[in-house]
Chains A and B, each alone.
Chain A
Amino acid sequence: DQQVKQNSPSLSVQEGRISILNCDYTNSMFDYFLWYKKYPAEGPTFLISISSIKDKNEDGRFTVFLNKSAKHLSLHIVPSQPGDSAVYFCAASDNNDMRFGAGTRLTVKP
C-alpha cells in the first residue's frame, strides 16, 4: 500500500528559479512529514520537517507547505542552486515507522 506518493519522477529548473516538489499522502494519522535529499552512493539525508498541526515551515532556502485537507505537501526551494540537484524523498511518520514516496529527481541547470 502506497501511503506516500510523489507523482513526478523528475523536475528540471534553471539556477536561481524556484523548485517545487509535490507529495500526497493517504493516512490521516501521520503526525510529521519530512523531506530527505539523496545524492548517488549515499544514504538519504534529512532536509526539513513539518508537524501535522502546522501549515508552513521555513529553513533558509527551503520551505515546506502542508495542506491537511488535501493531504498534500510541497517543498519549495528558492533560489535553486546546481548543488541542489539530487533525488528528493517525501516521508511521513506516526511515531513508529516512516513511509517514503518514490522520490523526485531534481536537476538544477546552471
Chain B
Amino acid sequence: DTGVSQDPRHKITKRGQNVTFRCDPISEHNRLYWYRQTLGQGPEFLTYFQNEAQLEKSRLLSDRFSAERPKGSFSTLEIQRTEQGDSAMYLCASSFRQGASGANVLTFGAGSRLTVL
C-alpha cells in the first residue's frame, strides 16, 4: 500500500472552467476526507465520507463543489465554474473508524494544488 494518492498534483486552469481531483485512499480505510488549505492557513474541512455515504459537508462547500465516492473506494472532488478564490491546495485524507473509541487519525495525501487564472 502506497498511502493516500492524489491526482493531479498540480492543475492550472482558467476562470470558469471545471476541474476534477481524484483521491485514492488507503484500501482498508472506510473514511475519506477532503480539506482545502490556503497559504498561511491550516487545512479547512470540506466534507467526509464513511464508505460511500457523504456524512457531513462544510458550508465552505458551495453548490459549485461536488464530491463523490461511488463505491466506497476512490473519491472525486469537482469544482464547476472555477473562480480565482478557489486557488488552494486540496488535501484528501483517509482513516479507519469503527465506533467512537480512540483517536481518529487521518492519513493525508500530498495534495492537489489548484491555480485559477
Chain A nearest Cβ from B75, distance in angstroms: 15
A8 within 8 A of B: no
Stretch of B12-20, B66-74, B99-107 that contacts chain A: B99-107
Encode contact with A along B75-97: 1 for CB under 8 Å, 0 otherwise: 00000000000000001010001
Contact B106 A46 (CB under 8 A): yes
Other-chain contact of A34, B48, B55, B97, B105 (Cβ < 8 Å): B105
Binds B, one of A14-22, A36-44, A66-74: A36-44
Whole-angstrom distance between the Cβ of A27 and the nearest chain B Cβ? 13
Nearest neighbor of A50 in chain B, beta-carbon distance: B103
Whether A89 touches B42, Cβ cut-off 8 Å, given contacts A43-B91, A51-B103, is: yes
Is chain B's binding surface mostly helix, strand, loop or mixed?
loop
CB distance from B91 to the nearest CB of A (A): 6
Verify if A25 is at the interface (C-beta below 8 Å from B): no
Q: Are A43 and B41 in contact (CB under 8 A)?
A: no
Known: A43-B4, A44-B43. A96 touches B108 (CB 8 A): no
Does the CB pair B104–A102 fall under 8 Å?
Answer: no
Question: Do the beta carbons of A43 and B45 come within 8 Å of each other?
Answer: no
Assess the A98–B45 pair: CB atoms within 8 A: yes
Chain A residues in the interface with B (C-beta under 8 A): 4, 6, 9, 31-32, 34, 36, 41-46, 49, 51, 89, 91, 93, 95-103
Q: CB within 8 Å of A: which residues of B?
A: 4, 33, 35, 40-45, 48, 55-56, 58, 91, 93, 97, 100, 102-111
